[in-house]
Amino acid sequence: MSTCQLCEQHDDTGSQLCPGCTKGTRVRLEALPVLYRGLGALLAPAGGVGQGRSGKGGPAPLPVSLDVLDIRGPGGMAALLESWVDAVRHERGRPEPAHTGSPEGRVERACGELLGHMPWIAVSWPEAGEFAGEIRELARSVASMLRTPEPERGTRVGHCQAVDASGTICASVLWLAPGEQVVRCRWCGMCWPPATWTQLKAWIDESAIRGEKGVQRRDVASTTR
């Protein structure tokens, strides 16, 4: 008989983390690099993709928060994740090469390495609860920075069907802002002018039927303006 270190519920497996908290932690580690890139989009100049400065000035610029700059900087999310990577490496007697490269690459590698250690962390690491709690807090605070304020949202269109270089569908929720003629993805910056809406709708329906995202599909960059 034992207790999960994160949710503090009884857990029959005798591990440090129960199966639910283990899965939750894995999902958060997978999501963090994506959330991190989403924060980058918040820092991009408004209107950089799409309508530019024509018309009524385009969408209102999103407020650039100092929190966002902090977490995107070299001492932010990357350093926090790497401190956990170092702790695990040390505990497991693994080599400890330095963390180098861009903050974005470092976040990706740290999450990948931590995911690789998850089976051991969940079963054996006495610090698993503290680790999982901090990962949960990090994912929560970044997600809250990305949340669009309610009044500006407008009409919910569906999930963005833009495909990135790796062939993964963006799948963020698209909103047609009040008074706007173009649906602009707040996440990836993809613009969906009215001429693309029929196709967009077809893709949204198609992926809803498949009930999945992250599938490979042909490039749709030609619909960007």
Which residues contact Zn ion (rule: CB under 5 A)? 4, 6-7, 18, 21, 160, 162, 170, 172, 185, 187-188, 190
What is the rounded CA–CA span in Å between residue 30 and residue 108?
A: 9
Q: Which is nearer to Zn ion, 9 or 102 (CB)?
A: 9
Neighbours of 115 (CB within 10 A): 14
Q: Which is nearer to Zn ion, 78 or 162 (CB)?
A: 162
Closest contact distance (angstroms) between CB of 122 and Zn ion is 10
Closest contact distance (angstroms) between CB of 86 and Zn ion is 25
* Helix axes 19-43 and 128-146, enclosed angle (nearest 10): 40
Q: Which is nearer to Zn ion, 33 or 76 (CB)?
A: 33
Residue the block writes with tokens 């569906």: 158
- Residue 66 CA to chain centroid, in angstroms? 19
Tokens (6 digits) for 53? 């400065």
- Report which residue type is found at 127: E
> Residues 49, 224: contact at Cβ < 8 Å?
yes
> Residues 39, 64: contact at Cβ < 8 Å?
no
Closest contact distance (angstroms) between CB of 79 and Zn ion is 27
Q: Which is nearer to Zn ion, 115 or 168 (CB)?
A: 168
